[in-house]
Amino acid sequence: MAPSFDEGNALFDFVVQKGNGVKGLVDNGIKMVPQRYIQPPKERIDKKNTNSNDQLLLEAIDLSKLHAPEHDQVVGAISMAAETLGFFQVVNHGVTLELLESLKASAHNFFAQPSMNKAVYLKGVSPSPLVKDVALEYLKSSTKLVKELLEILFGNLGVTLDEAKFESLTGLKMVNMNFYPSCPNPELTVGVGRHSDMGTLTVLLQDGIGGLYVLEEGHVEEGKDGWIEIPPIPGALVINVGDTMQILSNGRYKSAEHRVRTTSSESRVSVPLFATPTPSEKIGPLPQLVESDGVAHYKEVLFGDYMQNFFGKAHEGKKSLQFAQNDSA
């Protein structure tokens, strides 16, 4: 019989301390999600209640057209997406399709190892040799992409992004590999609860399973809950605006709440790259925008303090931004 994980520290010990992860539970044959992972009804993801697809928002933006007569339309589409949904997808982004496939395969290979091999790779140690080379390659080729996108987003605000500013906003880059095992009761739980990303921009590779949902702020269709699925598009990368970019742009760009559903049939992998400032950077609204807006919606904060607050609290959507909110504005 599969062991019960509903008592004491057994769950934490098995999943976290021993490095089995949630995958270990599934491999162990659990038939029911442990009590600890059951979400209150308002946090559960019901496909029927989500906003129906707004095609325009979800079509992938073809970055090869940045060097074609359609340049201005592409810039317009990126800027609009960052100002509204805070999420968009890009194709012809300069990261090869071969590398995208290797990243997904490496994530599966890593997570297929016995747990004792994985336990040493809990946060803060150098990456496993199984993923290191592809992760470094991803870091390298997506840095160009992040720069191109930030130049566009800054240009749209009327501000030039020089090398020093780019470095200060993306000095810390982290590649994560997420594994969402198939789940016996996907309707009762979530893969990742709602949160916003704290950095400047996130580049996310998702596989073909689907399940990434974004909250459309201020747009709730009748009888729906306001969430919209970012559909998997072969060869595309998902880009999302992080809290830092929302602060910097004095609120113009949206760091959207997002969350991930699990499924009962297949396991899913995703590989985000987070481009964030280093902890010693100060972040605050760009002075040019404060001047033109006549108000600073956020105060200047040390990014290290922002990070500490972000990780120090259980996530509740995008409440992390309150740390930098300017109460007098």
Which 197-226 positions form the footprint of Fe ion (CB under 5 A)? 197
Which residue stretch of 164-172, 204-212, 244-252, 286-294 sits at the interface with ligand AKG (rule: CB under 6 A)? Answer: 204-212
Question: Considering the complex, what minimum distance in angstroms separates the CB of residue 288 from ligand AKG?
Answer: 30
In the complex, least distance from residue 8 CB atom to ligand AKG, rounded to whole angstroms: 29
The structure tokens 């950095």 sit at: 199
270 binds, options ligand AKG, Fe ion, none, Cβ within 5 to 8 A by partner type:
ligand AKG
206 binds, among Fe ion, ligand AKG, none (CB under 5 to 8 A by kind): ligand AKG
- Taking the CA of residue 284 as centre, how many other CA atoms within 13 Å lie in the half-sphere pointing to its CB? 11
Find, among 273, 100, 123, the residue nearest to 200 by Cα: 273
Can you give the length of the chain in residues? 329
How far apart are CB 72 and ligand AKG at their closest, in Å? 30
Q: Minimum distance between the CB of residue 298 and Fe ion, rounded to whole angstroms? A: 20
Pairing of strands 237-241, 201-206: antiparallel
Burial call 315-329: b when 16+ CB within 10 Å, e when fewer: beebbbbebbebeee
Q: Is 152 in the site for ligand AKG (CB under 6 A)?
A: no
Q: Bridge-partner residues for 258, per DSSP?
A: 195, 214
In the block, tokens 């946060």 appear at 123
**Helix axes of 163-170 and 132-156: crossing angle, nearest 10 degrees:** 130
Ramachandran category for residue 184: left, alpha or beta (phi over 0 → left; psi -120 to 50 → alpha): alpha
Smallest separation, CB 97 to ligand AKG (Å)? 19
Count of residues engaged in binding ligand AKG, rule: CB under 6 A: 11
Q: Are strands 61-62 and 87-91 parallel, antiparallel or unpaired?
A: parallel
Task: Check binding of 272 to ligand AKG (CB under 6 A).
Answer: yes
Q: Does 258 bind ligand AKG (CB under 6 A)?
A: yes
Token couple for 249: 């742009």
Which of 153/205 has CB closer to ligand AKG? Answer: 205
Site for ligand AKG, residues 169 to 198, rule: CB under 6 A: 176, 178, 192, 197
Residues that bind ligand AKG (CB under 6 A): 176, 178, 192, 197, 204, 206, 212, 258, 260, 270, 272
Residues that bind Fe ion (CB under 5 A): 197
